[in-house]
Amino acid sequence: MSIAATFEIPFEQFLDPKGKPVKDLPKWADKEELLKLYKMMTKVRVFDTKAIALQRTGKLGTYASCLGHEAAHVGIGAAMIEEDAFCPMYREYGAQFMRGVKMSEVLLYWGGDERGSNFSGPQHDFPWCVPIATQYLHAAGSAMAFKYRGEKRAAVTVIGDGGTSEGDFYEALNAAGAWQLPFVGVTVNNKWAISVPLSKQTACETLAQKGIAAGMDCVQVDGNDIVAVRDVMQNALHKAREGKGPTFVEMLTYRLHDHTTADDARRYRSDDEVEAERKKEPLIRLRQYITDQGWWDEDQEKVLLEECKKEVDAAVVEYQSIEAPGVEDMFDYHFEELTDPLSEQREIAIKEARRNG
């Protein structure tokens, strides 16, 4: 029997879990840039901690934590340009903050107010996509439009490891590969799809190889190493904008918190597993690297944490000062024209809202 095809999946890493370089860092990874990325990752973590506290005290609805994903998300945002389009899942706050989305908008959304999706970031970016995998189709469609119009921009989308078992995911990859679209698909492989471990989701040795069947370049990256994440994304996006086709990127990381605040991960995974992964988390390794370079110390860390806390507290005040939307919004923003029964229901809803204060 002869071999019809063979393939390899490259793996990219610059910093090991202890913050030690495993090879020379890319030229862009200088003091200024790495400090900027570290500060943003820290801000994301402070925000995430506060958001969980708000949910626990009844001031937010369900919230999807990004604890442990900071390098993956901030690295994606750092590599994108404003003209690119971002089609997020529902926990990529680091990428969105890099693109100008406000913390108060994230809080507004998880507080149950859809006006939070009206981002301050690029208006062509897509809102959060809770249905699993549909955002991949949105990105493929956007990328097709960019190619059709001859624009040098790319569409970026993110999915979890469980989402790579969805049909929409495969359809989007197939379209991106067949039409060689300016598309960069990312899967943030955090090893758990709520309570389902990766080993029960797929027989694949890597998730990256799922892009092979679509004819795409595929790469696996240490998702806790922001240098590797940004470098891989930067190269994939440059290639896409130059009309040289799509890329599928698997980022290996770990979800350190529950899937959402409606979940209790203690029911399905061990404390030993979580603690082992906590030692590899992204802030530890970058902080160690910049400290070893003489660029960072404990005093700077204290100042940064205080600055982040003030910024997050201000965002919470802004969020809590926004008046709740009128009950009529559910009618006014869903229909071009109301039928008579809907008009009647709208008036009843307004009267009931006024009567109940």
Q: What is the pTM of this model?
A: 0.94
Q: CB under 8 Å to 265, separation ≥6 — which residues?
A: 192, 195, 255, 257, 258, 259, 274
Cβ contact 43:308 at 8 Å:
yes
Task: Note the pLDDT of residue 356.
Answer: 78
HSE on the CB side for 350, CA within 13 Å?
Answer: 11
Token readout for 54 is 């708000």
**Mean pLDDT, 10 residues at a time, the chain of 357 residues:** 94 97 98 98 98 96 96 98 97 97 96 91 92 96 98 98 96 98 98 94 95 96 98 98 98 96 94 96 97 98 98 97 90 90 95 84
Give the 3-state secondary structure of residue 227.
helix
- Catalytic residue of the set 69, 99, 153, 259: 259
Task: Note the pLDDT of residue 333.
Answer: 85
Task: Note the pLDDT of residue 330.
Answer: 86
- Catalytic residue of the set 115, 148, 266, 268: 268
Burial class (CB in 10 A: 0-12, 13-18, 19+), 205: exposed
- Catalytic residue of the set 255, 257, 285, 319: 255
Task: Note the pLDDT of residue 53.
Answer: 97
- What is the phi/psi pair of residue 246, to 5°? -85, 165
Distance between CA 228 and CA 240 in Å, rounded? 18
- For the chain, where are the alpha helices, taking DSSP H only? 31-56, 70-79, 93-98, 103-110, 134-149, 167-178, 226-241, 271-278, 282-292, 298-321, 329-332, 340-355
Fill in the DSSP letter of residue 328: T
Token readout for 347 is 């008036």
DSSP string, 131-184: STTHHHHHHHHHHHHHHHHT-S--EEEEEETGGGGSHHHHHHHHHHHHTT-SEE
**Active-site annotation holds for 259:** yes
Task: Note the pLDDT of residue 336.
Answer: 87
Q: CB under 8 Å to 242, separation ≥6 — which residues?
A: 152
Burial class (CB in 10 A: 0-12, 13-18, 19+), 276: exposed
Token readout for 122 is 């690029």
Task: Note the pLDDT of residue 181.
Answer: 98
Token readout for 332 is 């006014």
